[in-house]
Amino acid sequence: MEAIKSWISGICTVSLMISVIKSFLPKNTAGNTMNIICSLLIVVVIIAPIKKIDFNFLEFEISESERALSDKVEDVVYETEKLTDIIIEKELCEYICNKTDLDLKDIEITCDKGEIIEVVLYCQNEYVIKILENEYGVRRGMITVVEENDDA
């Protein structure tokens, strides 16, 4: 607060001195030149304290904002990938149910970041069809027999 008071008092002091000087200036070219110089002096007195301000706090706020924004972007990407997996699993499940003539008990679909990892079809007649994808992107079907459940 003290700095603002001294800044304003400096502006007022220079303004009063310039007003007194301007009253004695002639109305010719030399007077006009002195008017320009006095106006520049007032501008310098007004701007001078600004160069003393420490703007490092802005750098901290910007880095904090960048970090927060980066965290938000990562969260959005993660949520988008999760929603994409859910949509793929749901749509593929409906597609398989509509297109197959197998008597299905359950379907398990595993996705990761929008890519289908595994599809498992549990049929009523106790066998499982697993459709897997190898590292070359070639899909292969594998039929395995499910163990008989003693609880049933």
> Do 47 and 101 fall within a single domain?
no
Say yes or no: 86 and 31 in one domain. no
Helix (H) or strand (E) segment spanning residue 130: strand 127-133
Q: Say whether pTM exceeds 0.75.
A: no
Instruction: Determine, yes or no, domain membership for 24.
Output: yes
Q: Which residues constitute the domain of residue 101?
A: 81-145
Q: Is position 68 within any domain?
A: no
- Is residue 113 domain-resident? yes
Helices then strands, each counted (H, E), the chain:
3, 4
Most confidently modeled range among 49-53, 65-69, 95-99 = 65-69
Question: Is the confidence at residue 100, as pLDDT, over 80?
Answer: no
Distance (Å, rounded) from C-alpha 40 to C-alpha 14? 11
SS3 of residue 151 by DSSP: coil
Q: Closest by alpha carbon to 121, among 112, 111, 131, 110?
A: 131
In-domain check, residue 117: yes
Query: Domain for residue 89, yes or no?
Result: yes
Question: 45 and 94 share a domain?
Answer: no
* pLDDT at residue 88 greater than cutoff 90: no
Has residue 138 been placed in a domain? yes
Domain count, the chain: 2
